Amino acid sequence: MNQVIQLLKSHRSIRKFTDETIPEAWIEDVIKAGQAASTSSFLQTYSVISITDSDRKAQLAELTSNPYVATCSHFLVFCANVERLALAGEMHQTPFQGNNLELFLMASLDTALMAQNVMVAAESLGLGGVYIGGIRNQIAQVSELLQLPQFIYPVFGMCLGYPDHEPELKPRLPLAAVYHKERYQLTPSEEQELLAQYDKVVQAYYTKRTGGKRTDTWTESVMGYVKKPSRTHLREYLEKQGFRFD
C-alpha cells in the first residue's frame, strides 16, 4: 500500500483541537492543493472563506450548532460560486443564462471535490478536520455574516486544526455494498442482508466507543435523515441568491 492510499484510508473526523494556530502559509498551500482538483469544464466554480477571528467563529458556531467551530484554528467555508461566470459574461457582453439546475449541481460538485483535496492535503501535514454541514442550518444568516453576493452559496464548512484526540476509525459499508462490476448487481434483499451484517459492525463500534451509552445500528441511525424532510428552507434561500431549478 502506498502512502497516499494509506493516508486516505486513515481519515477520521477530528472535533477536538489544541490551541496551536496553523501557519497561514500552510492554509494557502492546502487551498492551492484544493484548486488542483478536477473541475467540470474548467469552470472552477468555488470560493473559500477562511475564518480565524474568535468572535466571528463564535457566531458561526452558534449558527451551525457546532461548538468546535469556535475552537479550531481555521474555519473554512466552502462556497459554490457562479457569480464569476456572470461577471465573465459581462466582460464579453454575453447574457448570463447559467443559473439553472445543471450549473447548480456542477458548482456544488466542484466545491466538494476541491474541499476533499484540501482535507487530504491538511491531513498530510498532520492536521485534522471535520466537515460542517450545519452551515446550511441558518444559511441566510451565514450568508449575511459573510456578505455573500448573488449566485454564491455556502455548501459546507470545515474545521481545521491540530488534533487533540485520536478517535477510532469509523467502519465503512462493506465493499460489496458499494462496488459493482459492469452493472448494478444487488437485489434489494441482497443489499438488506449486507446492511444487516454492517449493522452488527456499527453497533459494536458505537458500543465500544461510548462505553455502552450508544448502541444503535447504522440503519437505525440513518432513519433520522429519511423519515422527514431536512432543511426545507434551502430552496427559497437559493432562489433569492439567484439560482433557478426549472
Give the rounded percent of residues in the chain with a pLDDT score beyond 70: 99
Q: Is the dihedral of CA 36, 39, 43, 49 positive or negative?
A: negative
Give yes or no: residues 162 and 182 share one domain: no
- Tallying the residues shown for the chain, one arrives at 246
Same domain, 225 and 136: no
Residue at a domain's end among 121, 140, 167: 167
Question: Are residues 116 and 201 both part of a single domain?
Answer: no
User: If pLDDT is split at 50, 70 and 90, which confidence band does 34 have?
Assistant: very high
66 and 88, same domain (yes or no): yes
pTM of the model: 0.95
What mean pLDDT, rounded, does the chain reach?
A: 95
Mean pLDDT, range 6-21, rounded to an integer: 97
Identify the CATH number of the domain in which residue 83 sits. Answer: 3.40.109.10
Domain count, the chain: 2
Q: Are 146 and 49 in contact (CB under 8 A)?
A: yes
The rounded distance, in Å, linking the Cα atoms of 166 and 117 is 22
Helices (H), 19-174: 24-35, 54-64, 83-91, 101-124, 139-146
Asked, for residue 234, whether it belongs to a domain, the answer is: yes
Pair (97, 128) in one structural domain:
yes
208 and 110 in one domain? no
Residue 245 lies in a domain: no
Give yes or no: residues 158 and 56 share one domain.
Answer: yes
Mean pLDDT value across residues 146-175? 96
pLDDT digits (tens, 9 = 90+) for 118-134: 999 999 999 999 999 99
Single residue among 140, 167, 194 that ends a domain in this structure? 167
Of 246, 242, 219, give the one whose Cα is nearest residue 87.
242
- Does 102 share its domain with 124? yes
**In a domain? residue 246:** no
- Within 10 A of 7 (CB to CB), how many other CB atoms are there? 13
Same domain membership, residue 103 and residue 86:
yes
Instruction: For residue 152, give the H/E element and its range.
Output: strand 152-161
Q: How many CA atoms does the CB half-sphere of 204 hold within 13 Å?
A: 8
What is the rounded CA–CA span in Å between residue 245 and residue 105?
10
Write out the residue range of the structural domain in which residue 204 sits. 170-240
Q: Tell me what pLDDT residue 98 has.
A: 65
**pLDDT 10s digits, 78-113:** 999 999 999 999 999 998 876 789 999 999 999 999
- Note whether 63 and 137 are within 8 A (CB): yes
Do 126 and 191 lie in one domain? The reply is: no
Residues 6+ apart with CB under 8 A from 199: 217, 218, 219, 220
Q: What is the pLDDT of residues 42-70, one digit of tens each?
A: 999 999 999 999 999 999 999 999 999 99
Q: Last residue of a domain, which of 151, 167, 183?
A: 167
- What was the pLDDT predicted at 194? 98
Same domain, 130 and 25: yes
